[in-house]
Amino acid sequence: MSIPFSRINHIFISHLHGDHFFGLFGLLTSFNLLNRKNDLHIYSFPELSDILQLNNPKMIFGESMGYKIHLHPLNAEKSEVLFENKSTIIHSFPMRHRIPCCGFSFAEKDKPRKLRPAKIVQYDIPTYKRAGIKYGNDLELEDGTIIPNAQLTDDPPPSKKISICSDTLYNKTVIPYILNSDLLFHEATFLHDKLSRARETCHTTALQAAMVAQESGAKKLVIGHFSVRYKDTRELLEEAKTVFAETYAAEDMLTFNF
């Protein structure tokens, strides 16, 4: 699914190594050129405020800065809810990297049950009772008969969860936060024969990323953040697939249907 620029209102930056935020300058400038007016929310570490000159955004964006940026600080010590509305909840959780770093999970909340249209007609269910039935209520008819919810509704489509783990050492403490992700992105900077290099630089190997996917019950794993020493993704993918078959290599415009 492609999302129009104008609908991007929340941006999550895991940590302040340049490869993870340099793209912001171009993006924020493009928003301005496109005449953005909506506030933008960025979730990252407080130092980003100085980097982007948020106290005086006109330094970077000129007099025509047309929208406000809100920086929400991340906590690298414990998991936090960053955003929540009726349908979605977004958590951060600590990663183990050379500088403070957080992973993110984006989860749909449980959806209401689906009320069968034929039952609305059959029992002439009034509008004011329908919301309650969608949340599990039974229906009481005027003569006192109870129609159980299971006869009125179908299961809703399953709620989806996407988790992002970048950058980190192999780190089992993230597993409770990313449990049962429909899609897990995990960094896989090196092949496992470079394990000592991975440890030195606080990164993960393709094999370890696959272990995290397997141990956390992910349905699909996307690996990325590959070291430039690898000319293509073939070996990294092969290594991960020895542990977790549903592995894909991240590439531009890669899309999945859930």
Q: Which residue is nearest to Zn ion (CB)?
A: 17
Give the three-state DSSP class for 130.
Answer: helix
**Residue number with CB closer to Zn ion (21 or 106):** 21
Segment contacting Zn ion by CB under 5 A, of 11-19, 25-33, 38-46, 138-146: 11-19
193 touching Zn ion, by CB under 5 A: no
Tell me if residue 124 is catalytic.
Answer: no
Q: By CB under 5 A, what part of segment 51-80 binds Zn ion?
A: none
The correct pick among 5, 6, 9, 19 for binding Zn ion (CB under 5 A) is 19
Q: By CB under 5 A, what part of segment 142-181 binds Zn ion?
A: 167
CB of 46 to Zn ion, least distance (A): 17
The correct pick among 10, 17, 41, 119 for binding Zn ion (CB under 5 A) is 17
CA distance 15 to 103: 9
Strand 80-84 relative to strand 88-94, pairing: antiparallel
**Residue number with CB closer to Zn ion (19 or 200):** 19
Under DSSP, the state recorded for 253 is T
235 touching Zn ion, by CB under 5 A: no
Under DSSP, the state recorded for 143 is T
Closest by CA to 206, choosing from 221, 188, 224, 194, is 188
CA 233 from chain centre, in angstroms, equals 23
CA distance 122 to 129: 14
- Which residues bind to Zn ion, rule: CB under 5 A? 17, 19, 167
